[in-house]
Structure 1
């Protein structure tokens, strides 16, 4: 069984991704990607899941529980860090847009119902991780210690400059580590202009387990999804000429939200080499103000 979901295989109408935990075939993490045309309005129920409302391109207005959040958004995931909203379980959410929007809804089944919230782009930490050709940008908008107003949901964004590697060394979030998390990778690949997502470009992703029950090396294109129920994941490799973005969604049964992980012991030594290497000057790629450089 493959855990790769190419573009279109988990779509519903014009919505590119419709992956509730039930559709994914597991218990905790989910993702929807919705498209609203200019002047568009949609309403949805969160059910037993909390979610972030994260613009991928364009901006929108989020209305929930009597609150109204105006999300500026961005032109592309490769142009700037976006603001976002948090919406609770058991809520009716209304999205509207003047100029059109593509929006991601990373979600997680949860127990507690919290109040809605707004995350300004200016408050989102941008981290440069790794070194050499493993340098990448991590945009920590929805992780523990940065956004603590969530019950189970964890989410972050990564940008890998073309030709670089990320999610490396390979690591896992299994019960053999401190916590267990299901994880979703949602990929966007930029075209030749390094800004506009395009199916022209491509990258690679690997996920595997020690026992070989999961062992996948897949080519990923813009809009693809990869589900990680268990096992080591990484690397993700951006082909030369085509920068890679992915949205990570994590959730599990853990009492506290955590991104704790275990490296594959065969490759953890790679981390020790970074101290002697320079950072790739292309990172960071974006901030709340826009593209860097």
Structure 2
């Protein structure tokens, strides 16, 4: 590990010959969540064996064709993460897949280890992706809910994107999901993968801190391509510096028999939610609608 620390992975520190980013349950030191980021040159094909995990193929930039189990999924993709939501593909465990991009692009491959594997490979249409505006005022952000309970079926995997206008805070108030408490909190390992508008000098910040019983202390300056691992503890805020819009991909999975995303706010800061009632949602949201004017 570099001086980025155990939980903050700088761009390239978790790359290998195939992937720009490679986070496995083993490399993260946990049991379920994983993420790969893949760049394909025009006409290039990548072979993926899903093994004991389920995967999404989620275009970040560009489109691709995914072939698996006799199915062919044509993913139109997008020009970039701030431009629009994207279509995607789901692959169950024990799949042998080919990912080909005629024009080239970058693709996120979030994954979750599972022993179930009863779902088929299938296509996720971008028109069916719920886009949610959360918070208000300086806590306004956009959430693209790709693979959450009630939006898209999976065995263990949960995936969404959060887009935060420059100067705003998201993942706030700080919250956690590291205990299995039925109806209150679900135990989930989480990965944050960041991209930031504004070029190579653009930056944001991510905070993670623990409880007395399970300490963790991360304050990371993040740039495009960086990743933060959250095994437990309160996480937030995610801070978009003024002038730089912040994007992060959330990948979550855990041991619970019920696939659920249940969180607990830090009681020291949960009161902030009540202030949103008197504030408007940031008029820079949603992203994509005003893309030509940004």
Which residue is 1:248 aligned to?
250
Question: Which of 116, 122, 127 lines up with 1:122 in the alignment?
Answer: 127
**Cα distance, 1:274–1:216 mapped onto 2, change above 3 Å:** same
Tell me the distance in 2 between the aligned counterparts of 1:22 and 1:2.
Answer: 13
> 1:77-226 residue pairs with structure 2 within 5 A?
77-113=81-117, 114-148=119-153, 150-175=154-179, 177=181, 178-191=185-198, 198-211=199-212, 213-226=215-228
Distance 2:148 2:286 in 1: 18
For the Cα contact (< 8 Å) 2:215–2:233, is it kept in 1? no
**Large movers: runs of 4+ above 2 Å:** 290-293
Over the aligned positions, Cα root-mean-square deviation in angstroms equals 1.4
TM-score in terms of structure 2 length: 0.94
Query: Within 5 Å, which residues of 2 pair with 1:1-40?
Result: 2-13=6-17, 15-40=19-44
SS in 2 for 1:70: strand
Over residues 147-199 of structure 1, what are the superposed CA-to-partner deviations in whole Å (9 max), with x where a residue is unaligned? 12x100000001000110000000000116431000000000111xxxxxx32
CA drift of 1:96 comes to 0.5
Aligned length: 284
How does the TM-score come out when normalised to structure 1?
Answer: 0.94
What is the distance in 2 between the residues matched to 1:43 and 1:217? 36
> What's the secondary structure of 1:269's corresponding residue?
helix
* Cα deviations by residue, 1:16-60 (Å, 9 ceiling, x for unpaired): 101111121110000000011001011011010001000000000
Change beyond 3 A, Cα 1:70–1:50 = same
The reply to whether residue 272 of structure 1 matches residue 246 of structure 2 is no
Map of 1:194 onto structure 2: none
Deviation of 1:99 (Å) = 0.4
Distance 2:266 2:125 in 1: 35
**Structure 2 residue runs without a partner (length 5+):** none
Q: Which residue of 44, 68, 79 maps to 2:48?
A: 44
Instruction: Answer whether contact 1:285 1:292 (CA < 8 A) is retained.
Output: no
Q: Give the Å deviation of 1:13.
A: 2.6
